[in-house]
Amino acid sequence: MGLVFLFPGQGSQYVGMGRELAAAFPAARHALAEADAALGRPLSRLLDQGPEEDLRLTWNTQPAILAVSVACLRVLGDVEPLACAGHSLGEYAALVASGALDYADALRTVEQRGRFMQEAVPVGVGSMAAVLGLSPEHLREICEQISRDGHRVQLANDNCPGQAVISGHVAAVEAAVVAAREAGAKRAVPLAVSAPFHCDLMAPAAERLAPVLEGVAIATPRLPVVANVDAAVHGDGPSVARRLVQQVRSPVLWQGCVRKLIELGGSRFVEIGPGKVLTGLMRRIDRDLPAANVEDPASLEAFQKGL
């Protein structure tokens, strides 16, 4: 069947995510209750009731999306994919699905990851922007031409053909936006984010995350998990940890990840968790391959009918 699971990252969150699934399935309720116990706080209440401004805080957003993704995964039960991958934060859910990471350990790790990433750069120093209509290679050239000490901008996401994200110092990102428009980008706009993710400004976060991951038991994944940093399959536990540390400050090569999953035999892609961001990207990467999401009872039923 070539079934592949994709797990969403930050930006897919919304108040009420997981609510219908938890109401309908004990397995989902148990997964959210486990998240509350692992973190020692009522994360499930934040998911259900908000407020939205608290859910948007990075150290809340990251465990929240992971919890809902795992709740969806638990409801699916014994369905085993050919392979899986996750976008940024979603890579942790993919590793939980593969048996490499314990769910509770993953929750506590991404809570700290979110805090480290938010604290790495003072508010107002960094920013990100989406660029449509330029190749990643062209965008990298623009970033290299603009960057210098204390004025750096880098490719942060290669999401799909014609869609990328840049990240770095505010003035450098602004200059890159102007240069991208002049180079023929269809659109180049700043993003409303709290920090400049997936660039070298995240180096302090990566340094703080490394000892946390050293203290986490990570097994060799029982099925292929494609890593963001190099679009290659994770190996043993130490290899997983190294790539997760690198991921914080490195571009998310999502288009490459999907191409690798197709190379592995992936022919049907299912986004497990809140939102349909990855489903939309999949259709732009290869519209001939079926893609759908599972996040509520209706989408779950549609998925199960297709098995």
Catalytic residues: 88, 198
Query: Do the beta carbons of residue 179 and residue 144 sit within 8 Å?
Result: no
Neighbours of 288 (CB within 10 A): 6
Cα(164)–Cα(175) distance, integer angstroms: 16
3-state secondary structure at position 245? helix
Terminal CA-to-CA distance of the chain, rounded, Å?
A: 9
**Looking at beta carbons, which pairs linking 24-31 to residues 24 or more positions away fall under 8 Å?**
24/297, 25/74, 25/75, 25/297, 27/71, 27/74, 27/75, 27/77, 28/71, 28/72, 28/74, 28/75, 30/74, 31/67, 31/70, 31/71, 31/73, 31/74, 31/103
CA 252 to chain centre: 8
Q: Provide the β-strand partners of residue 270.
A: 5, 292
Amino acid letter at 45? R
Inter-residue contact 225 to 98 (CB < 8 Å): yes
Cis peptide before 51 (omega within 30 of 0): yes
- Token readout for 283 is 């259709």
Distance between CA atoms of 6 and 94, rounded to whole angstroms?
Answer: 7
Give the C-alpha separation, 245 to 69, whole Å: 21
